[in-house]
Structure 1
């Protein structure tokens, strides 16, 4: 008889202990999204912008360092506040580990977690020998393309950015890419996006490691 995924952990630890980190991660992701949403919804601008570039209470800048690198590669010199924002973000993730973004902040994480759950539920096995180093090749490619073409192309198709901006301002065609990630993770490669393709996750793992206070 096939066991329900996670049932053994629930039996050994109890429901709360078996699910507490998952629930805390979801709470963290909802909190981050909520901080961005209360501005356009209620006019209380605690966080203004998006995950690529934002400002806390119209004072503290926050910049995605990966986006900053792409701008530099494209030949654009960012403003001082963008540099400062990138340093603040890098310092924060250097303390806790860049993977914290992937598990506790990234809005796409519930989508890939849902795909992983469905894959286990359906009893699907690993369907591809896709190398997890492919994401590092994609990371390098996304820094070379702006160097050649003079423009940042990744942010226009980045599922993470599309989902976050879509929840804030309207999804548009971005839903197609999000659904594609879900189907890819469910039926093609287990944890295919996060574990094998996502260049943003590769950047955080490479730039900040496991963190001082992980």
Structure 2
């Protein structure tokens, strides 16, 4: 829990690095996604109802309510193993983005400080040829098409570097927001 709390504070500077580099659910879902790709297993489409903001807020609210209940009652509930199991089950049937962007309570919490992160993944519009590869490979679907080029949403970006590694134009870098 200490690592997670420090990561929330670090998200103010570096974005959601916990999500992309430390999170055990992300680590396992990446493996599941890799296996599904190698075996040509298609994921179900994400139901539109699960992409509504109230779903993320509800899951986050449930997480906070459970945390408060545990603190007040002193009872030990398997909250973290339960969320881990749910994340794995979601990854087995749906694209990773369902968990990362819409259901993960940690991601919801980290999205707030990540909005103000000093460092973030950034696309150089002068080098970007708008091929859309970054958008297709982002596990959190944090890349969106802007009017003239693609943009990365800091609040949703896992800072996993998949977009940077996949960009043939080398137009995506992790850098300070001083552009």
Calculate the TM-score normalised by the size of structure 1. 0.42
For the pair shown, the structure with the greater C-alpha radius of gyration is: 1
More helix by share: 1
Calculate the TM-score normalised by the size of structure 2. 0.49
Structure showing greater relative contact order (alpha-carbon pairs closer than 8 Å, 6 or more residues apart):
2
